[in-house]
Amino acid sequence: MPIRDELDYINIVNNTAKAKIALQGAHIFDFQTKDKKRLLYLSDTAHFKKGKAIRGGIPICWPWFGANEEDNTLPNHGFARTSLWKHESTKNISDVETKVRLTLESTPETHALWPFDFLLILDFYIGEELKLVLTSKNLDRKPFSLSLALHTYFEIDDIYKTTIDGLEGKAFYNKCNNTHNNIQNENINFTQEVDRVYQEVGNDVMIRDKEQNLVIKTEGSNSIVVWNPGKELCSKMSDLSDYRTFVCVESANVLEDIVTLGVDESYTLTLTISQKIEN
């Protein structure tokens, strides 16, 4: 298995696409089909260190999103993105699609952060589209609640020339000024830092870039998080090299959209991303 700095990763190449997935965090940090641009942004200064989150790709925020509401000394965005996952299998479904399965189970180390028994299963489908299927299962003797996100960093040409469609008319929480029940009146464009949680989103969302449209389809989620740090915040982040060439559109269950699982219950979040070239 190849290694980048301190982290082992799985290298996938088939007749349609290629991808790289770090075992730490079950973190896909590169994906590209043969006839299209690179899909995922990866910071030039991203850390590939044990116990450090990778800046770019698709981090797994689980079992909480952002700061822990009960104890803000706990890791931001939970522990799944910095835990070592187990590689269960890699299978060629066809000559144009490969499936990779990784799992994460509770340990004494996770119990110290979150006192529940669980199983996480993450399936990657590497083909003409990129598909992630994340299943959370409660193996504990009591119910638990969680929030989560597939924190996708999309590579774009220029944030100031990028728009996001599909969130018009949706209510959102604006983290930048801590206001709730804002309404998105038109498509999203970027002139400064944006950090918003859109709620009751059941439709596809599209990122319109200079030469392509990125279509984001989510099942099992009603929250979409949109984030770009802007120039000022980016300058304070040592592992983020350029705010202008990415935007995060995250499939999530946060705020009122948290998930509660009873004993032996499971919940699945599915994200499918496709690229369409502009004519």
- Which residues are marked as active site? 151, 250
Separation of alpha carbons 242 and 158, rounded Å: 10
Model confidence at 130: pLDDT above 80: yes
Q: What is the mean pLDDT of the segment spanning 250-254? A: 96
Average pLDDT over residues 137-161: 97
Confidence of residue 154 (pLDDT cuts 50, 70, 90): very high
Closest to 66 in 3D by CA, of 273, 266, 250 = 250
Q: What is the rounded average pLDDT of the residues 113-120?
A: 98
Query: What is the predicted pLDDT for the residue at 1?
Result: 87
pLDDT for res 68: 93
- What is the span of the domain harbouring residue 146? 3-277
CA distances, 228 to each of 16, 101, 162, 173 (Å) = 30, 30, 11, 15
Confidence of residue 277 (pLDDT cuts 50, 70, 90): confident
What pTM did the predictor assign?
Answer: 0.97
Q: What pLDDT score does 211 carry?
A: 84
Q: Residues 20-33: what's their mean pLDDT?
A: 98
3-state secondary structure 236-269: CCCCCCCHHHEEEEEEEECHHHCEEECCCCEEEE
What is the per-residue pLDDT for 37?
A: 93
Share of the chain above pLDDT 70, in %: 99
What's the token pair of residue 269? 């979040």
Q: Quote the pLDDT of residue 210.
A: 87
The pLDDT tens digits of the residues spanning 6-20 come to: 999 999 999 999 999
pLDDT of residue 279: 56
Helices (H) and strands (E) counted in the chain, each on its own, are 2, 22
* Residue 19: burial class (beta carbons within 10 Å; 0-12, 13-18, 19+): buried
The CATH code of the domain that includes 240 is 2.70.98.10
Alpha-carbon gap, residue 118 to 125, rounded angstroms? 23
Instruction: Give CA torsion, residues 249, 70, 261, 88, to 10 deg.
Output: 60
Q: Per the structure, how many domains does the chain have?
A: 1
pLDDT tens digits for 157-208? 999 999 999 999 999 999 999 999 999 999 999 999 999 999 999 999 999 9
Q: Alpha-carbon distance 163 to 207, whole Å? A: 6
Sort 132 into a burial class: Cβ within 10 Å, 0-12 / 13-18 / 19+: buried
pLDDT tens-digit readout, 45-59? 999 999 999 999 999
In three-state secondary structure terms, 104 is: strand
Structure tokens at 192: 């400064």
Return the SS3 of 161.
helix
